[in-house]
Structure 1
Amino acid sequence: MRKMPGYILPMLLAVLCPILLFAQVMVTGSVNDTKNSPVPGASVKLRNTLLGTVTDATGRFALNIPAATGELEISSIGYKTQVVNLATANLSALSIQLSEDIGRLDEVVVTGLATNVKRRNLANAIATVSSKDLAGTAPAQTLDAALNGKIPGAYINSNSGAPGGGISVRLRGVTSIFGNTQPLYVVDGVFIDNSSVPGGLNVVTAAGAAGNTSNQDNPSSRIADLRPEDIESIEILKGASAAAIYGSKAAAGVVIIATKRGKQGKTRFNFSQDLGFVKARKLLGAREFTEERVANSPQGWDLDEYKAAVAAGRIYDYEKEIYGETGLTRNSAFSMTGGSDRTSFYFAAAQKNEEGIIQRTGYRNNSIRLNLDHRITDNIKIGFSSNYINSSADRGLTQNDNAGVTFGVALSSTPGFTDLHPDANGNYPRNPYGASNPIETRDLMTNNEKVNRFVTGINLDAILLKTDKTTTRLIARGGVDYYNLKTNALFPSSLQFQQVAKGTSIQGFANNLNTNYILSLVNNYNLSDNLAFTTSMGLTQEKRDFDNLLNVATQVISGQSNVDQAGSLSASQFRNKNKDDGLFLQEEVTLYDAITVNAGMRIDKSTNNGDPDKYYAYPKASLSWNITRLGMPENTFVDNLKLRVAYGEAGNFPAFGSKFSSLLVSNIEGLPGSLVSTQRGNSLIEPERQTELEGGFDFTILNNRLSLEFSMYRKVVKDFLLQRSISTSSGFSTEWVNAGDLRNKGIEIGLNALVLSQSTIRWNSTVNFWKNRSKVTRLDIPPTVLGAFGNSLGTFKIEEGASATQIVGIDQGGVKKLGDQEPDFQMNFWNELVFFKNLSLRFLLHWKEGGDNINLTELLTDLGGTSPDYDADDNKNGKPDAEDRIDALGSTATIFVQDASYLRLREIALYYNFKVPGNLIKGLRIGVSANNFWTSTKYKSYDPEVSNFGSGFSTGVEVMPFPASKRASLHLSIDF
């Protein structure tokens, strides 16, 4: 066969290109709702292609297609999807009317790494959070805080009120005890690191881990770096039945985040400005002193000092002075979006600056985002996401402390009649009743956390083969998440508690690089209108390279901060590299658009496992049957009824350090050397495995105005990790083992209703209820006490046959169960009322019933003589209540295990949309909002949401936290 001359192909292209361009057909039209109001941002897509656009602010669109054939699919969140046959339509003036989808049946949700399905055929209870849910009502300081109270099946707890975040998220109960307990976060296909990097404050606080892997120096969570305002939607895969395809990282669930993308049409701009304030939600109050109380105090207070203070009118409320600041908040954002039929973009730049409720604390976040989408050809589309974040958090000095140096611990023993304020020369007096002067510590110390973060992702979607019945696509996703974190903690030598250390400088440096990719082939085969197959397969890889260096210098020269300007310097370094490889295969079969069968398998190996070359398989399977679309007569009371069941398995890597016997540095006869740790490595360690069976039903009635979702699940965690003691004759004392199994069972109920729909008022309401119960079903080692401060104060205990979150302690001469950290149930109540289409009122109530905390804040104020109710006598025995509690110390821990139930108004906001004459300003929106402004609780401390041990297993332990805040803001948003 003769070769085609080289000049022929360019000539053919030159001739054909104008013909192909001429053959393009322009489709134009508008999309409105049932009240003829435009629907902006609606997706308009030519089915089985990559061709699509979105409607502009007036609901209009224009789309070039190859020919006047095929079907046009129009969809938007909250509306039912419409399909238009182009062969019979007026292509120059399409008028599409979308009706509301109260039950969100046409909402598209994730079913795999590269596939999705409409909710009406979904077999799992997958929670979704929209941009309006996150930031459209009362924006929270950080993303993790914005999720609180909005996810059925989740226990979300604020570890402390310190600026910059610090939230623990637990989906459907306990996933692990010493392993990862936080869900996997995926942002535009990029696996995001959510580590909490300690800053080394334990050097000055002397707070140990107390049997818990979580650190007590109050680090923040790195997911807090992301701005909620940049996010379009979030999907939460709460258990293995939905998340199995993510394999060894999915045991704690998966949070899939999609950021905002560009929209075709004229470039549009938005500027928003929020101004507000933040205050402590609650202060405990100060004890009232008398001469008798001071003279008889077991703390040895100076009566003459008290008399002099009263005479001079110098009785201080130090709690209010430390925690009672009103912090100002400011959040400025600018965004622009636009594009052609081939290229679209979204750009946003924002700055957030918030002062804390303690002087010299606060949070700042600067963010730049650029998202680009380009259709190279009709069959190839590429997307690019990039985000740079620079944040700085001044977090103060709070939480547990064995040296008496944190604000709360120092305040607990400091009466209000002693003067801690500086003199005219700036010299602070020594605190005669505590190890530190908290006013001096606040004014002179530094605890800052700075982050520079780059998140970049890429998404390639290419149609490789297309026929009348089949379409094969290549979908490639992945990216890079890199951040460097610097912690800077300075304690000058002039501080009262630095008399021995003579000045301390703690400088921490952490670098983290996450890379990942997903390569998949997806084939859609429509055998007929009633039978369709979706096959997906591919491979994945994730890498992590983490390096944390902590330098601690003491005897620091006055006025210096560099660690080399010190008499003593020590360093510690933690490095962790791992690589995870996976393969997956999934098949989805849809019959009559009513029955959906899904089966898949994920196969993983990891360098974290005892055998890095061993593959572990994680299967999944599900079935959903939409009875109303197949099997139920039409025109019945029920608009939609679906039955569903799903099963899946997922993994959790072994804890770091469990695989190898580590080496410890030692001085051997004056020479540096290494000694083998007393913890023996276990080369046979296996990953924890989770299996989950979920079932339920969904239905809508009253012309889709009322919908109900009911789910039950049984989640089993097999081979969870614990440490066991071993014979000292082995040369070791402990080792990690796969010690047992535990089970979680729970229910989730969601009710959505369109209560009113009239021309003057519209009322949407959502109620969710969820509960979980755990039980340790197998334990191969003796019962293990961990996660708090021992039986005398209340602690967690892992034992066979008991709840995994039980709290035990001494009482009546023995150790018994005193409570449980798991709530009895939780509920949320979300409402949106719209008046005359322009005025909207939104609010979210969150009810947590039951669930106990270990409250040791009250113990410290009792021992220090400063409890506000110290002198009360509720039991009428003639003795102060605080002394009754102190006398019970050592004989019972019941006084420390306290009910942490609450009813909280998490968010409330009132907004008004103005119509501005002229063409420059397209929209003007003004509103006011409040977060956590009202809480009803009997819990006897600052806030029932607290966790001294951070985001690990042992949440709900309180030791002098940074008090929780309430906030209010004024909002202005301009579109032009």
Structure 2
Amino acid sequence: MSKKINLLFLLCNVLLPFFSLAQFTISGTVTDATNNPLPGVSVIHLNSFVATSTDANGKFSLVIPKKTGTLEFTYVGLARQTVPVVEVGESFVIKMKEDVGKLDEIVVTGLASSVRRSNLGNAVSTITSKQLVGTTVQPTMDAALYGKFTGSNISANSGAPGGGISIKLRGITSLVANSQPLFIVDGVYYDNSSINPGLNSISKAAGQGNTNFQDNPSNRIADLDPEDIDRIEILKGASAAAIYGSRAAAGVVLITTKRGRSGKPRIELSHSIGVQMQLKKLGQRQWTEDKVLASYGASAVPLFRGANGQIFDYEKELFGNKGLMNNTRVSISGGNENTTYYAGFTRKDDEGIVKRTGYKKTSVRLNLDQKVTSFIDANFSANYVTSNADRGFFNNDNTSTTLGVSFVSTPSWVNLYPDANGNYPNNPFAPSNFIQTRDLMTNREHVDRILLGGTATWKIFNFSKNSLRLIARAGMDNYTLNTIAIFPRELQFEKDGNGTNGASIYGTTLDKSTNFGGILVHNFKLSGNLEFTTQAGLTSENLDQDNVVNTATQLIGTQTNLNQASAIEVQQTKTIQKDRGFFVQEEMNYRDLVLLTLGMRGDKSSRNGDANKLYYYPKGALAINLHKLSTWNASTLSQLKLRAAYGESGNFAPFGAIYSPLVSAVFGGSTGSLITTTRGNEALVPERQKELEGGFDIGAFNNRVSLEATYYRKTVQDLIFNVAVATSSGFSFAWKNVAAIRNQGVELALNATPVLNKDLQWNFTVAFWKNKAKVTRLDVPAFNTGAFGATLGTYRIEKDKSPTQIVGIGGPSDKVDPQSGVAVYGDGEPDFNLSSYQDLVYKNFELSVLMHWKKGGDNINLSTLLSDIFGTSPDYDAMTLDPAKQLTNGKFRLAALGTTARPWVEDASYFRVRELGLTYRIPKHVFKNIADVKVGVSARNLINIFNYSSYDPEVSNFGSNAISSNVEVTPYPSSKSFHFTLTVNF
């Protein structure tokens, strides 16, 4: 009997939803503002959770329990509309309008739930596909983010093709650990490592330090094709990111790629051709015999005389290549009510502004959505990317062999060009002939990457008042990164006993990341006014990364194979990480008036000292839509929302910090291991971020004007650092939780549509943000870190001071702290950022402009130091710095060397027109309504205004390093570009 009862219960749960839905059918058509049918519009009966979407002709049919309640219509970019069921007639047609205020856009609030922006309790920035790539062609996905959302500080470690971007959200969140946000693409955890190619064995840039930061590698997020992206959500605050736990202290970037909609196949073809060139030219010093004598001594004068007045424009030679850029894009999408698909193909081929550098990438994507049964849905995403990036040889070095350092070491009257037989002369003023190095060396990254993700949703039951869904999710991110650096033995710094007689450096990184999740989501309507959404789930994330760098020196002849060398060194780094977690979240919605979210995440990880210990991260958010009050009568204001949120998130210790590592050693001809001088600490706890934010959203004139204002206060506790310890302990350094930082800031975003009519539409966004940070706890004495020491300017971690303050030795006119012996010269943190995006559509023309102003923020500019030392600075002979007008600029700066660091710390403020695009849509009748054709011209970094004395104030010699990212040492210069684009839609 009990078995029969159980079977009956199971049948009721499975079959009852079908019987309960088969009661009343509603049909209709949905169109846009110009009466064109809209396929793919989501239609939901709010009283029963029953949903469908419109077909290719904009038609839909929906079976609901009874002829009561409300229908909701939503479509990306259009305003949500609701219609009472009782008003639906037999020939029902609804016309949707543009969502000018973006209050109806859907924003993710959990791992499996979302809400309309108008109901959101915390600040989340969103970037649409149009904002990301709609103005101009983007070199990489990360570079496309510049200036497009509040709370960000973005810098580049190299202008080389293929990327290399550092992104920080709402200030510093770590001293040494990962400072980059977590990227998730269609539910798949996306690895964004920067992996060094082994150039340090030639450049000696890091000396005995960490080699990861000065080899200017690209970021792996550059592999993602920006043309595939439909939408980006940036969870900057802990209240939004807490649901992602121990990986989310630096924020979370959720990326959703494009998917198909039901209807006939839609085909898009586009091709752009462009050219990029050096962003800013500095020029070269003008030489005389007296200047040569003063800079290089009497032995150089005969060389200058032998040049017979011949001058070589080496800046143009090195950075003057007009790099041709080609980008081809093909996509097709469509489907029916059960199956939809999206397929995209992109081929990018960009030449750099330095000869023999460039970036080639091919990306193929396939996204499928399938309604398996009436109660099971599934979607699948697959992406394959292969790319080659030739990045040159730049940034810091201690051997004067990089292209940048040898360039600033060389006066313009020395002939470095090869003779008729292709033989390059030695550079008499540097260990490297940079033309020879550029022409003969290789520094290439090759990537093969595949991303797979899938989600299955089982609607366990779906009644009029409550529903339950089970969501299963899995993702895999696998890539192989091959780095190849070849320095032939005929290079000046490799031959004649000067170096290693040639070097061949091959690196291989195998990276496999997987993530799995199971989530239950329950929706419950207690009454017509109160709704609850409950979700709970389990998650699993795994990382297995194996990096091997083989360095072969003493090459045999012209061979570059590793086995064709007399000396081989192998370095291997393995990173294995396993994270497990759970989360619960409850969302309450009372008439869209009061919205409350409470949640908790629990995490454990193999990165922790106790791999089985759970760390908990709570979150909460409250939003009150005052305009929903029954007594509201302010006709001008269409929205007034107050919101407050609190959350916590974490950051793991650097990999291996819980152990005291071993290094290989040889004892009497036998191999063995030694413990290093750094002591591990198994008691380390994750860095913990706690953030409280509050704000308000105002909409006016039917939301054609809206303002979002947010204030946040974020503390990051238990910051980890490798501190000096008493050598009597047997170690010199040890990992400890020693500090805390407080970030506080303001974010403002104004959106408006001042003009909206048949012929003219004008939309604009103005965003303002600023952040201030302070060290609030420091368990060890204040210390300097990053850059190259106090003589040239460095960073100092000191209680009650900014963690990015720049200090250095001080002269008589500087305010020197008597205890530390250094003076404060600046701060890497900007005073504020202000950006503006304008979009103007007049009939068939569209003009889009993105402008960005960064005020304040300082760099340590060591490119100028090096060019001063070698006497080649373009402004060396100007007299604009010395108040007494006695010394030239070069001599004035050099006179300060060893006395004060002030000359090397520069204001990095700038104003840019980052993107500018003009398109024309050719009338459809020209092509007999078969195709929609657009032509356009665009530019990136067209206008750049700054007083910074080098090529670009957006630099970072130390890549994604948490602290010292505002340091410049002869980088690959930034570029500006121009494009012509043709797009055809069928």
Q: Same fold (TM over 0.5)?
A: yes
Which residue, out of 851, 862, 874, partners 2:857? Answer: 851
Superposed displacement of residue 64, structure 1: 6.1
Which residue, out of 860, 872, 879, partners 2:878? Answer: 872
Corresponding residue for 1:228? 226
The letter for the 1-side match of 2:749 is G
Number of residue pairs the alignment of both structures matches: 957
Superposed displacement of residue 691, structure 1: 0.2
For each residue in 1:43-66, what CA deviation from the matched residue of structure 2 results, as whole angstroms up to 9, or x when unmatched?
34455557433565xx73445657
Counterpart-to-counterpart distance in 2, 1:926 and 1:320? 32
Counterpart-to-counterpart distance in 2, 1:109 and 1:21? 29
Corresponding residue for 2:982? 972
For each residue in 1:247-286, what CA deviation from the matched residue of structure 2 results, as whole angstroms up to 9, or x when unmatched?
0011000000000001101112111101100101012211
Residue correspondence of structure 1 range 902-921 to structure 2 within 5 A: 902-917=910-925, 921=930
Which residue, out of 205, 208, 211, partners 1:207? Answer: 205
Corresponding residue for 1:823? 830
Which residue, out of 404, 407, 428, partners 1:408? Answer: 404
Corresponding residue for 2:146? 148
Counterpart-to-counterpart distance in 2, 1:38 and 1:760? 21
The letter for the 2-side match of 1:195 is S
Preserved CA contact (<8 Å) 1:210 1:788: no
| Identity value in percent | 48
Superposed displacement of residue 787, structure 1: 1.2
For each residue in 1:719-751, what CA deviation from the matched residue of structure 2 results, as whole angstroms up to 9, or x when unmatched?
001112222222111110000111000000111
Corresponding residue for 1:900? 908
Preserved CA contact (<8 Å) 2:40 2:54: yes
Counterpart-to-counterpart distance in 2, 1:2 and 1:761? 71
Asked if residue 707 in structure 1 is aligned to residue 717 in structure 2, the reply is: no
Superposed displacement of residue 302, structure 1: 2.3
Corresponding residue for 2:7? none
Preserved CA contact (<8 Å) 1:210 1:787: no
Corresponding residue for 1:938? 947
Counterpart-to-counterpart distance in 1, 2:378 and 2:171? 38
The letter for the 1-side match of 2:400 is G
Corresponding residue for 1:118? 116
Counterpart-to-counterpart distance in 2, 1:403 and 1:2? 82
Which residue, out of 841, 845, 863, partners 1:839? Answer: 845
Preserved CA contact (<8 Å) 1:531 1:589: yes
Superposed displacement of residue 518, structure 1: 1.7
For each residue in 1:645-673, what CA deviation from the matched residue of structure 2 results, as whole angstroms up to 9, or x when unmatched?
00000010011221001100011111111
Give the TM-score, by structure 1 length: 0.95
Q: Using a 3 Å threshold, how does the CA distance of structure 1 residues 317 and 63 change in structure 2: closer, same or farther?
A: farther
Stretches of structure 2 lacking an aligned partner (at least 5 in a row): 5-15, 813-820
Stretches of structure 1 lacking an aligned partner (at least 5 in a row): 5-15
Preserved CA contact (<8 Å) 1:174 1:744: yes
Preserved CA contact (<8 Å) 2:839 2:847: yes
Q: Using a 3 Å threshold, how does the CA distance of structure 1 residues 247 and 419 change in structure 2: closer, same or farther?
A: same
The letter for the 1-side match of 2:147 is G
Superposed displacement of residue 291, structure 1: 2.1
* SS state at 2:308 partner: helix
Preserved CA contact (<8 Å) 2:39 2:263: no
Superposed displacement of residue 80, structure 1: 2.1
Counterpart-to-counterpart distance in 1, 2:208 and 2:2? 81
Corresponding residue for 1:392? 388
The letter for the 1-side match of 2:486 is L
Preserved CA contact (<8 Å) 1:211 1:786: no
* Structure 1 vs Structure 2 CA RMSD: 2.1
Residue correspondence of structure 1 range 354-373 to structure 2 within 5 A: 354-373=350-369
For each residue in 1:128-176, what CA deviation from the matched residue of structure 2 results, as whole angstroms up to 9, or x when unmatched?
0000011111121000000111010111112220110111110000011
Counterpart-to-counterpart distance in 2, 1:723 and 1:780? 12
Superposed displacement of residue 293, structure 1: 1.4
Residue correspondence of structure 1 range 91-110 to structure 2 within 5 A: 93-110=91-108
Corresponding residue for 2:729? 730
Counterpart-to-counterpart distance in 2, 1:944 and 1:632? 53
Counterpart-to-counterpart distance in 1, 2:919 and 2:92? 33
* SS state at 2:493 partner: helix
Superposed displacement of residue 784, structure 1: 2.1
Residue correspondence of structure 1 range 380-459 to structure 2 within 5 A: 380-459=376-455
Greater mean alpha carbon deviation, residues 204-213 or residues 419-428 = 204-213
Corresponding residue for 2:183? 185
* SS state at 1:81 partner: strand
Corresponding residue for 1:12? none
* SS state at 2:404 partner: helix
Counterpart-to-counterpart distance in 2, 1:554 and 1:102? 62
Preserved CA contact (<8 Å) 2:548 2:571: yes
Q: Using a 3 Å threshold, how does the CA distance of structure 1 residues 219 and 226 change in structure 2: closer, same or farther?
A: same
Which residue, out of 258, 261, 275, partners 1:260? Answer: 258
Counterpart-to-counterpart distance in 2, 1:50 and 1:478? 26
The letter for the 1-side match of 2:868 is D
Asked if residue 888 in structure 1 is aligned to residue 896 in structure 2, the reply is: yes
The letter for the 1-side match of 2:945 is S
The letter for the 2-side match of 1:80 is A
Counterpart-to-counterpart distance in 1, 2:754 and 2:907? 35
Greater mean alpha carbon deviation, residues 608-617 or residues 633-642 = 633-642
Which residue, out of 277, 300, 303, partners 1:302? Answer: 300
* SS state at 2:829 partner: coil
Asked if residue 956 in structure 1 is aligned to residue 952 in structure 2, the reply is: no
Superposed displacement of residue 833, structure 1: 0.5
Greater mean alpha carbon deviation, residues 294-303 or residues 395-404 = 294-303
For each residue in 1:784-811, what CA deviation from the matched residue of structure 2 results, as whole angstroms up to 9, or x when unmatched?
2111000000001111110011111111
Counterpart-to-counterpart distance in 1, 2:199 and 2:134? 37
Superposed displacement of residue 703, structure 1: 2.6
Counterpart-to-counterpart distance in 2, 1:20 and 1:592? 25
Preserved CA contact (<8 Å) 1:399 1:961: yes
Q: Using a 3 Å threshold, how does the CA distance of structure 1 residues 705 and 283 change in structure 2: closer, same or farther?
A: same
Superposed displacement of residue 30, structure 1: 2.7
Q: Using a 3 Å threshold, how does the CA distance of structure 1 residues 831 and 741 change in structure 2: closer, same or farther?
A: same
Superposed displacement of residue 82, structure 1: 1.1
Q: Using a 3 Å threshold, how does the CA distance of structure 1 residues 559 and 46 change in structure 2: closer, same or farther?
A: farther
Greater mean alpha carbon deviation, residues 71-80 or residues 908-917 = 71-80
For each residue in 1:663-721, what CA deviation from the matched residue of structure 2 results, as whole angstroms up to 9, or x when unmatched?
00011111111011111110101100000000000011123221111000000000001
Residue correspondence of structure 1 range 730-879 to structure 2 within 5 A: 730-812=729-811, 814-836=821-843, 838-874=844-880, 875=882, 877-879=885-887
Q: Using a 3 Å threshold, how does the CA distance of structure 1 residues 530 and 610 change in structure 2: closer, same or farther?
A: same
The letter for the 2-side match of 1:82 is Q
Counterpart-to-counterpart distance in 1, 2:741 and 2:807? 18
Corresponding residue for 1:31? 31
Asked if residue 163 in structure 1 is aligned to residue 173 in structure 2, the reply is: no
Q: Using a 3 Å threshold, how does the CA distance of structure 1 residues 107 and 305 change in structure 2: closer, same or farther?
A: same
For each residue in 1:61-88, what CA deviation from the matched residue of structure 2 results, as whole angstroms up to 9, or x when unmatched?
4456578857542112343211234554
The letter for the 2-side match of 1:892 is T
For each residue in 1:488-536, what CA deviation from the matched residue of structure 2 results, as whole angstroms up to 9, or x when unmatched?
0000000001123011000000010000012110101001111111111
Preserved CA contact (<8 Å) 2:796 2:805: yes
* SS state at 2:947 partner: coil
Counterpart-to-counterpart distance in 2, 1:662 and 1:303? 54
Asked if residue 287 in structure 1 is aligned to residue 285 in structure 2, the reply is: yes
Asked if residue 323 in structure 1 is aligned to residue 319 in structure 2, the reply is: yes
Q: Using a 3 Å threshold, how does the CA distance of structure 1 residues 426 and 45 change in structure 2: closer, same or farther?
A: farther
Give the TM-score, by structure 2 length: 0.94
For each residue in 1:743-764, what CA deviation from the matched residue of structure 2 results, as whole angstroms up to 9, or x when unmatched?
0000001111112123332111
Preserved CA contact (<8 Å) 1:456 1:480: yes
